[in-house]
Amino acid sequence: MARPNFTEKDAKTIVNLYESGLSGHPAVARLLKTAFATGNFSELDHYLSKNQGLVEKMATTNLLTSQLAGQNPFYPFPAGEELEKLQGPIRLGIVNMINGVPIYFGIPPEITTMHGMIAGRTGTGKTWFNANFLEQLIKHGKTHGSL
């Protein structure tokens, strides 16, 4: 395999393709693989120049991601294995939306034996949260033997 010899422009393109997720596009993935194997990025550059819509989408996606990350320190939201670790029958909130389906952050009932505090300003939903939380504890506690 030849050692890739790419320019700073090529490096920025590669980073942008991976950050936007466009590296998973079938044609782009194939061209990236070829470019890395041969060190020749001209085919990839040619494809991207002919498909400006993809390049614009990549730029827009990266700009949006950057803005969201600046506004929310927890962005990007968990997915995959990380999301599976946050599963439990007692739902505390929504962690992510995948294809319009809410993915809940949940805890096992056993963890509710620990001390906790719900803090917030007036009108932020503490009472509603606690009511929902207690309802779930009653419902799931019986099935898990904690009540």
For residue 120, what pLDDT is reported? 92
Taking alpha carbons only, the member of 129, 88, 143 closest to residue 111 is 88
- CA distances 131 to 24, 126, 142, Å, are 44, 9, 17
Is a pLDDT exceeding 70 seen at residue 42?
yes
- What are all long-range contacts of 92-97, with beta carbons under 8 Å and residues at least 24 apart? 92/133
Domain definitions of the chain by residue range: 8-71, 80-144
Phi, psi of 21 (to 5 degrees): 85, 0
Q: Where residue 143 falls among pLDDT bands split at 50, 70, 90?
A: low
Tell me the average pLDDT across 95-102. 78
pLDDT tens per residue across span 64-82? 878 877 787 777 777 777 7
**pTM over cut 0.75:** no
